[in-house]
Amino acid sequence: MSLKFGILGLMAEEPLHGYEIKSRFESLMGGAWEVNIGQIYATLQRLERDGLIATAGERGDRGKLAYQLTEQGAREFTAWLSQPEAGQSLLHEDFSVKLLLLRRLAHADLAALLHRQRRMQLQHLRDLAAMDRQARDAGRADLALIIKGAILHTEADIKWLDLCLDEVADQQSPAP
């Protein structure tokens, strides 16, 4: 979804051809989101079919074809920019389903899974901290802000896992 609007947004600046879109999109994301050129062309085809972009001029050197926003594309992009995004539904995540199932199964080691998940999230925090440093060193305050969001989400995940572990411990300890 963001790739579609990312392309429209980049084209709001000037007409672009496929490889320009790929490199500008990746640079926008600080190199942290790679897209293959096939994905770009497939998205361009859909956008053209839906009337959101149109070819700009003739084929240039080496047969490259540039695209530009149509009026409809510009309207749709502007509307998308101003819309809030619905939050992710954490309830639908695989891990939540695993947790609920494990609780129903006798002899299942819930604490072990929680610790493994927590360990993974700690490593994820470490990786994000390194990305944060890279982004700031590169002067990409905008990207650092996005990464900071991911760090806060991951910290919340760890707090939640700790809460789950507290509950598992409470259930295992004998009543006073």
Q: Which residues bind other proteins (CB under 8 A)?
A: 1-3, 29-34, 39, 88, 111, 115, 118-119, 122-131, 134, 146, 149-151, 155, 158-159, 162, 165-166, 169, 173
Using the minimum distance from each CB to other proteins, give the nearer residue, 3 or 54. Answer: 3
Least distance (Å) from other proteins to the CB of residue 63? Answer: 27
Using the minimum distance from each CB to other proteins, give the nearer residue, 57 or 139. Answer: 139
Whole-angstrom Cα distance, residue 117 to residue 94? 12
Whole-angstrom Cα distance, residue 123 to residue 56? 46
SS3 83: coil
Least distance (Å) from other proteins to the CB of residue 168? Answer: 10
Using the minimum distance from each CB to other proteins, give the nearer residue, 50 or 166. Answer: 166
Using the minimum distance from each CB to other proteins, give the nearer residue, 14 or 127. Answer: 127
Least distance (Å) from other proteins to the CB of residue 77? Answer: 17
Least distance (Å) from other proteins to the CB of residue 28? Answer: 11
Least distance (Å) from other proteins to the CB of residue 115? Answer: 5
Residues 6+ apart with CB under 8 A from 169: 111
Q: Which residue is listed with tokens 């980049």? A: 10
Using the minimum distance from each CB to other proteins, give the nearer residue, 60 or 95. Answer: 95
Q: Where are the alpha helices (DSSP H) in the chain?
A: 2-11, 18-28, 37-49, 71-82, 94-104, 110-137, 141-172
CA distance readout (Å), 144 to 83, 87, 147, 151, 153: 22, 21, 5, 10, 14
